[in-house]
A = this chain, B = another copy of it.
Amino acid sequence: MVQLESQATPRRARKIGARQIYDALKDQILSRVYEAGGQLPSSRNLSNELGVSRTTVTVAYEQLAAEGFVELRQGTRPRVAALPFGQRSKDTAPTQQEPRLSAYGERLRAIPPWLDYLPGSLMVDFRYGDLAPSDFPARAWKKAVNSVIAQRPSRLAYDDPRGSRRLRQALQGYLWRARTLRCDLEQIIIVNGSQQGLDLCARLLLDPGSEFVIENPGYRMARQIFASTGASPVSIAVDGEGLKTESLEGVRARLAYVTPSHQFPLGGVMPISRRHQLLEWARENDAYVIEDDYDSEYRYDISPVPPLHSLETGTNVIYLGTISKTLSPMMRIGYLIVPPELQDVFATAKQLFDRHSPVTEQEALASLIESGAYERHVRRVRRLNRDRRETLLNALQRAFGERMTVEGADAGLHVVVWFNELPKLSEAALVETARRAGIGVHSISPLCEQQPDETMADRTGLVMGYSALTPRQIEKGVQLLLAAAKTVKGQS
Chain A residues near B (Cβ < 8 Å) = 23, 30, 59, 62-63, 66-69, 81, 83-86, 88-90, 93-105, 108-109, 111, 113-114, 116-117, 119, 125, 127, 129-134, 136, 138, 141-142, 145-146, 149-150, 152-161, 180, 191-193, 195-196, 199, 203-207, 210, 221, 224-225, 228-229, 254, 269, 271-277, 279-280, 283, 286-288, 302-303, 305-306, 312-313, 315-316, 328-333, 339, 341-342, 344-345, 347-349, 351-361, 468
Contacts and interface: CB of A to CB of B under 8 A. Distances in A.
A84 B248 CA distance: 15
A156 B413 CA distance: 14
Contacts of A191: 354
A352 B342 CA distance: 22
Nearest to A87: B280
A153 B280 CA distance: 46
A205 B225 CA distance: 17
Which of A111, A344, A355, A361 has the most CB atoms of chain B within a 10 A radius of its CB?
Answer: A355
Given A155-B132, A160-B117, A357 B332 contact: yes
Contacts of A352: 108, 111, 195, 199, 221, 224-225, 228
A343 B101 CA distance: 12
B93 A312 contact: yes
A225 to B, nearest CB: 5
A85 B276 contact: yes
A272 B330 contact: no
A329 B330 CA distance: 20
Given A67-B271, A100-B286, A351-B114, A315 B95 contact: yes
B355 A195 contact: yes
Contact of A131 (B30, B156, B341): B156
Contacts of A99: 339, 341-342, 345
Given A85-B276, A105-B204, A134-B152, 6 more contacts: A67-B306, A81-B273, A100-B287, A191-B354, A192-B357, A193-B354
A103 B254 CA distance: 13
A67 B305 contact: yes
B468 A157 contact: yes
Contacts of A356: 117, 332
Contacts of A274: 68
Contacts of A101: 204-205, 345
A127 B158 CA distance: 11
A72 to B, nearest CB: 13
B111 A130 contact: no
